[in-house]
Amino acid sequence: MTVGEFCLPLRVYIEDTDAGGIVYYVNYLKFMERARTEFMRELGFGKDYIFNRDLMFVVRAVTVQYLRPAALDDELQATVELRRLRGAAMDLRQRVRRGAQVLARGDVTIACVDRAGLKPRRLPPEMVRVLQSVPRAGSQV
């Protein structure tokens, strides 16, 4: 774990795998999504906060590198690190690991949009305040 890294423990179930018992590639994105959701919940911005405002978060961009396979019953960790905050978006670095071994890594840009028109809108000020207190990826202790 690094400074500012949120970590969600996971286990690989049969539904996560292909016919060979290897995690199907799209499920790494699902693991990363779960970690982002729990990261925001941990900061106080769970579904109640989001649903009670005229906003949504959407993936604007994602790049993923698949490095090693995970298999049925593996214990994994999906991590999130905040890299950068912008007016209506945040850039995150994510990893899926088995112990210290990185299996997949991704960079994700999440955009804040209004619920009705799906147009970009600034991150809420209270969210910005909390996110600004989260150490950034690559920061020193």
Annotated catalytic residue, options 18, 48, 54, 73: 18
State the Cα–Cα distance between residues 81 and 2, nearest whole angstrom: 9
Alpha helices (H) along 25-79:
26-42, 47-51
In a 13 Å sphere around the CA of 122, the CA atoms on its Cβ side amount to 6
Burial of 60 (0-12, 13-18, 19+ CB in 10 A): middle
The pair of structure tokens assigned to 7 is 């970590």
Residue 107, amino acid: D
Query: Which two tokens mark 137?
Result: 């990826």
The 3-state secondary structure of 82-99 reads EEEEECCEEEEEEEEEEC
User: Is residue 18 flagged as an active site residue?
Assistant: yes
Q: So which residues are the catalytic ones?
A: 18
